[in-house]
Structure 1
Amino acid sequence: MKKTMIWILLVIMMSGCSGLSTRQKNAATGAAVGGVAGAVLTGGSSFGTVGGAAIGGVIGHGVDSAVKRK
Protein backbone atom coordinates (compact mmCIF):
# COMPACT_ATOMS: atom_id res chain seq x y z
CA MET A 1 0.00 0.00 0.00
CA LYS A 2 2.80 2.39 0.88
CA LYS A 3 4.57 1.87 -2.47
CA THR A 4 1.32 2.42 -4.34
CA MET A 5 0.78 5.75 -2.59
CA ILE A 6 4.33 6.82 -3.41
CA TRP A 7 3.81 6.03 -7.10
CA ILE A 8 0.50 7.88 -7.17
CA LEU A 9 2.06 10.95 -5.59
CA LEU A 10 5.00 10.77 -7.99
CA VAL A 11 2.68 10.68 -11.02
CA ILE A 12 0.68 13.63 -9.69
CA MET A 13 3.80 15.65 -9.00
CA MET A 14 5.34 14.91 -12.40
CA SER A 15 2.16 15.91 -14.22
CA GLY A 16 2.71 19.41 -12.88
CA CYS A 17 5.94 19.62 -14.89
CA SER A 18 4.25 19.64 -18.29
CA GLY A 19 4.63 23.42 -18.72
CA LEU A 20 8.32 23.55 -17.82
CA SER A 21 11.13 24.13 -20.28
CA THR A 22 13.69 21.40 -20.90
CA ARG A 23 16.22 23.21 -18.73
CA GLN A 24 13.74 23.46 -15.85
CA LYS A 25 12.84 19.77 -16.17
CA ASN A 26 16.53 18.83 -16.13
CA ALA A 27 17.10 20.96 -13.03
CA ALA A 28 14.12 19.40 -11.23
CA THR A 29 15.24 15.89 -12.16
CA GLY A 30 18.80 16.63 -11.07
CA ALA A 31 17.58 18.01 -7.76
CA ALA A 32 15.45 14.93 -7.11
CA VAL A 33 18.23 12.50 -7.98
CA GLY A 34 20.79 14.54 -6.06
CA GLY A 35 18.56 14.69 -3.00
CA VAL A 36 18.11 10.94 -2.96
CA ALA A 37 21.81 10.34 -3.55
CA GLY A 38 22.74 12.80 -0.80
CA ALA A 39 20.37 11.13 1.64
CA VAL A 40 21.72 7.67 0.82
CA LEU A 41 25.37 8.70 1.02
CA THR A 42 24.98 10.53 4.34
CA GLY A 43 22.65 8.06 6.03
CA GLY A 44 19.59 10.29 5.78
CA SER A 45 21.06 13.50 7.14
CA SER A 46 19.16 16.67 6.29
CA PHE A 47 22.35 18.46 5.30
CA GLY A 48 23.31 15.69 2.88
CA THR A 49 19.84 15.61 1.34
CA VAL A 50 19.63 19.36 0.82
CA GLY A 51 23.23 19.57 -0.36
CA GLY A 52 22.72 16.73 -2.83
CA ALA A 53 19.54 18.35 -4.13
CA ALA A 54 21.28 21.69 -4.61
CA ILE A 55 24.25 20.17 -6.41
CA GLY A 56 21.99 17.94 -8.53
CA GLY A 57 19.83 20.91 -9.50
CA VAL A 58 22.84 22.91 -10.63
CA ILE A 59 24.19 19.98 -12.63
CA GLY A 60 20.78 19.28 -14.16
CA HIS A 61 20.40 22.93 -15.12
CA GLY A 62 23.78 22.88 -16.83
CA VAL A 63 23.11 19.67 -18.78
CA ASP A 64 20.93 21.49 -21.29
CA SER A 65 23.65 24.06 -21.95
CA ALA A 66 26.32 21.39 -22.40
CA VAL A 67 24.21 19.40 -24.86
CA LYS A 68 23.42 22.45 -27.00
CA ARG A 69 27.12 23.37 -27.33
CA LYS A 70 28.02 20.11 -29.08
Structure 2
Amino acid sequence: MPDRKIRDTPSPDGRPETDAESRTDAERRRRRAQFLRELAEARALRARVQPRRAKAARLRRAMRMRTFRW
Protein backbone atom coordinates (compact mmCIF):
# COMPACT_ATOMS: atom_id res chain seq x y z
CA MET A 1 0.00 0.00 0.00
CA PRO A 2 1.66 3.28 -1.06
CA ASP A 3 2.06 6.16 1.37
CA ARG A 4 0.80 8.74 -1.11
CA LYS A 5 -2.51 8.39 -2.88
CA ILE A 6 -2.64 9.53 -6.49
CA ARG A 7 -5.72 11.54 -7.32
CA ASP A 8 -7.64 11.21 -10.57
CA THR A 9 -7.39 14.90 -11.43
CA PRO A 10 -4.04 15.89 -12.90
CA SER A 11 -2.26 19.02 -11.78
CA PRO A 12 -1.84 21.91 -14.25
CA ASP A 13 1.54 20.61 -15.41
CA GLY A 14 0.01 17.23 -16.37
CA ARG A 15 1.33 15.13 -13.47
CA PRO A 16 -1.12 13.35 -11.17
CA GLU A 17 -1.68 15.21 -7.93
CA THR A 18 -0.62 13.59 -4.64
CA ASP A 19 -1.97 14.18 -1.14
CA ALA A 20 1.15 16.20 -0.29
CA GLU A 21 0.57 18.46 -3.30
CA SER A 22 -3.10 18.88 -2.43
CA ARG A 23 -2.09 19.87 1.12
CA THR A 24 0.33 22.47 -0.20
CA ASP A 25 -2.39 23.66 -2.58
CA ALA A 26 -4.82 24.00 0.34
CA GLU A 27 -2.14 25.89 2.28
CA ARG A 28 -1.56 28.17 -0.71
CA ARG A 29 -5.29 28.87 -0.97
CA ARG A 30 -5.44 29.60 2.78
CA ARG A 31 -2.49 32.01 2.56
CA ARG A 32 -3.99 33.67 -0.52
CA ALA A 33 -7.34 34.14 1.24
CA GLN A 34 -5.54 35.67 4.23
CA PHE A 35 -3.60 38.00 1.91
CA LEU A 36 -6.78 39.10 0.12
CA ARG A 37 -8.50 39.80 3.47
CA GLU A 38 -5.55 41.94 4.59
CA LEU A 39 -5.47 43.70 1.21
CA ALA A 40 -9.17 44.53 1.48
CA GLU A 41 -8.62 45.84 5.01
CA ALA A 42 -5.70 48.00 3.82
CA ARG A 43 -7.79 49.39 0.96
CA ALA A 44 -10.62 50.22 3.35
CA LEU A 45 -8.19 51.99 5.66
CA ARG A 46 -6.71 53.92 2.75
CA ALA A 47 -10.19 54.94 1.60
CA ARG A 48 -10.90 56.32 5.08
CA VAL A 49 -7.60 58.22 5.18
CA GLN A 50 -7.74 59.50 1.60
CA PRO A 51 -10.07 62.50 2.22
CA ARG A 52 -7.56 64.02 4.67
CA ARG A 53 -4.75 63.49 2.22
CA ALA A 54 -6.77 65.16 -0.53
CA LYS A 55 -7.58 68.11 1.73
CA ALA A 56 -3.91 68.54 2.66
CA ALA A 57 -2.93 68.45 -1.02
CA ARG A 58 -5.62 71.02 -1.81
CA LEU A 59 -4.31 73.32 0.94
CA ARG A 60 -0.72 72.95 -0.28
CA ARG A 61 -1.81 73.76 -3.83
CA ALA A 62 -3.69 76.83 -2.62
CA MET A 63 -0.64 77.99 -0.67
CA ARG A 64 1.54 77.63 -3.75
CA MET A 65 -0.91 79.65 -5.79
CA ARG A 66 -1.01 82.42 -3.18
CA THR A 67 2.77 82.70 -3.09
CA PHE A 68 3.17 82.52 -6.88
CA ARG A 69 4.18 85.82 -8.52
CA TRP A 70 2.76 86.55 -11.96
Q: Which has the higher contact order (CA 8 A, sep 6+)?
A: 1
TM-score by length of 1: 0.38
Q: Relative to total residues, which structure has the larger helix share, 1 or 2?
A: 1
* Structure of larger gyration radius: 2
Q: Relative to total residues, which structure has the larger strand share, 1 or 2?
A: 2
